[in-house]
A and B are shown apart, each in its own frame.
Chain A
Amino acid sequence: MPKVNDYDDIPGTTVFDAARSRKGYHLNSFCMSLMKAENRAAFKADEEGYLKRFGMTEAQRQAVLKRDWNWMIQEGGNIYFLAKLFFTDGNSFQYAAAEMTGMSQEDYAKMMLAGGRPIEGNRSKSEWENRG
């Protein structure tokens, strides 16, 4: 049985705890490598070839190639490391956040301008299950 943590009840949220950190070590280390311009160039030139340099799982590689941010997080990716990847693509935090919520960037930006996602109804998984 995987350990159940109190914060696992928060909906739509993945806390970067010890288990996720261990799972994501190679994925996050790949992201970290993109801090260097020459590595960004090598990655852009041959994504699949570049990813083979790191001891990542097949799921982690596929999630990166598909730019599936929620999948990367599920595979142990941390948002501040993943940022190196979406910056390499020329995208912003707001772009990535919109992608993860399944909203268009325009709708997401509008939501933020209107005060953001409200806390009411977003505290517990039970609230998300009940909203149908």
Chain B
Amino acid sequence: MAKIIGGLTTSHVPALGAAMDNGKTEEPYWKAVFDGYERAKSWIVEASPDVIFLVYNDHATAFSMDLIPTFAIGCAEEFPIADEGWGPRPVPTVKGHPDLAWHVAQSVILDEFDLTIINKMEVDHGLTVPLSLVYGQVKEWPVRVIPFPVNVVQYPPPTANRCYNLGKALGKAIRSFEQQDLRVVVFGTGGMSHQLQGKRAGLINKKFDLAFQDKIGPNPQALTKISHLEFLRESGSEGIELVMWLIMRGALSEQVKEVHRFYHVPASNTAVGHMIFESQEA
């Protein structure tokens, strides 16, 4: 059986990857961010997952204008690190878990969430920065990873409500995997408020972000009612990535225990938010 131990949310700012890769984590500007991830580093050891189900978005890396899947699942044995324009990040190749990934794909499609299946894909900072934040610099990732890219680049992204319900279906599918005993942690990445484009670039909405953090554990239903217009207006044009946090939340048990919360402005252009939840399975 597979068991969902808990979930973790985090921003995936590319500059955080660059700071780690270039040895800048002790500089005061960056240290203020990385200090917020100390708890995650010890928690992940305690949780000792076999698999991370990692919800993120591709940033015009694997998916160009030619092909834009709304929800997709990585079923390959491994996922090479993409060259995003300055050479690939110096991090290990990501190893997948095809047995669980294919099981989830089949279950969720029969549960009426139509996923795109990926057998070959390079992964970008959206996936590798969260892994680096939690595991630090390693020679091999000590965990298998199922990449789950969500379109948030081409408008409209899937709705908050759709994401939450999809998360529920994913949770059910993961729990119904019987081939092996697996400990699974679900990551929901992206956000929090930020805007990278136009004359309103640099927008941060701390009040919105903190309210989101307050609600996602005990009352995620309230967040499923946030419209695209509200996300775009209140959390910036790129803040809408927060819908991916709701996929993570949906996959966890109805009741969760919040074990860590962090919020910091800025990392480059972005409000960094990070939380850890443990499942409260019956």
Which residue of chain B lies nearest to A70 when distances are taken between CB atoms in the complex? B198
* Cα(A65)–Cα(B59), bound, Å: 23
Which residue of chain B lies nearest to A22 when distances are taken between CB atoms in the complex? B65
Q: Does the CB pair B202–A116 fall under 8 Å?
A: yes
Contact of B229 among A7, A94, A119 (CB under 8 A): A7
- Does B84 make an interface contact (CB < 8 A)? yes
- Does B43 make an interface contact (CB < 8 A)? no
From residue 57 to 93 of chain A, which have CB atoms closer than 8 A to chain B? 70, 73, 78-81, 83-84, 87-88, 92-93
Q: Which residues of B contact A (CB under 8 A)?
A: 14-15, 59-61, 64-66, 82-86, 153-156, 193, 195-208, 228-229, 232-234, 237-238, 265-266, 268-269, 271
CB-defined A-B contacts under 8 Å, sample of 12: A10-B233, A35-B82, A81-B60, A83-B84, A112-B202, A116-B203, A116-B204, A116-B271, A117-B201, A117-B202, A117-B204, A123-B233
Q: Does the CB pair B85–A35 fall under 8 Å?
A: yes
Q: Does the CB pair A16–B85 fall under 8 Å?
A: no
Q: Does the CB pair A79–B85 fall under 8 Å?
A: no
Q: Does the CB pair A117–B61 fall under 8 Å?
A: no
* Cα(A31)–Cα(B193), bound, Å: 26
- Inter-chain contacts of B200 with A (CB < 8 A): 10-13, 101, 117, 122
- Inter-chain contacts of B86 with A (CB < 8 A): 87
Contact of B154 among A11, A16, A96, A115 (CB under 8 A): A16
Minimum C-beta distance from B186 to chain A (A):
24
- Does A34 make an interface contact (CB < 8 A)? yes
Minimum C-beta distance from A4 to chain B (A):
13
Q: Does the CB pair B232–A7 fall under 8 Å?
A: yes
Q: Does the CB pair B14–A93 fall under 8 Å?
A: yes
Most A Cβ at <10 Å: residue of B193, B200, B237, B266: B200
Given contacts A13-B237, A21-B65, A116-B202, contact A80 B155 (CB under 8 A): no
Given contacts A37-B83, A119-B207, contact A11 B199 (CB under 8 A): yes
Interface size in chain A (residues, C-beta < 8 A): 54
Contact of A100 among B60, B64, B199, B265 (CB under 8 A): B199
Q: Which residues of A contact B (CB under 8 A)?
A: 6-7, 10-18, 21, 24-25, 28-29, 31-32, 34-37, 40, 70, 73, 78-81, 83-84, 87-88, 92-94, 96-98, 100-102, 108, 111-113, 115-119, 122-124
* Cα(A32)–Cα(B61), bound, Å: 8
- Inter-chain contacts of B206 with A (CB < 8 A): 115
- Inter-chain contacts of A31 with B (CB < 8 A): 60
Q: Does the CB pair A80–B233 fall under 8 Å?
A: no
Across the A-B interface, the 5 shortest Cβ-Cβ residue pairs? A116-B204, A12-B199, A12-B200, A87-B85, A97-B201
- Inter-chain contacts of B233 with A (CB < 8 A): 7, 10, 123-124
Q: Does the CB pair B64–A32 fall under 8 Å?
A: yes
Minimum C-beta distance from A109 to chain B (A):
9
Given contacts A7-B233, A28-B65, A29-B65, contact A15 B155 (CB under 8 A): yes
Minimum C-beta distance from B176 to chain A (A):
35
* Cα(A84)–Cα(B198), bound, Å: 17
Q: Does the CB pair B84–A87 fall under 8 Å?
A: yes
Which residue of chain A lies nearest to B237 when distances are taken between CB atoms in the complex? A13
Q: Does the CB pair A29–B64 fall under 8 Å?
A: yes
Given contacts A32-B60, A32-B65, A83-B85, contact A13 B198 (CB under 8 A): yes
* Cα(A43)–Cα(B156), bound, Å: 32
Excluding A7-B232, A116-B193, 15 further A-B contacts by CB distance (< 8 Å) are A7-B228, A10-B233, A17-B155, A32-B60, A70-B198, A94-B269, A97-B202, A98-B201, A100-B198, A101-B199, A101-B202, A112-B268, A115-B204, A116-B203, A123-B234
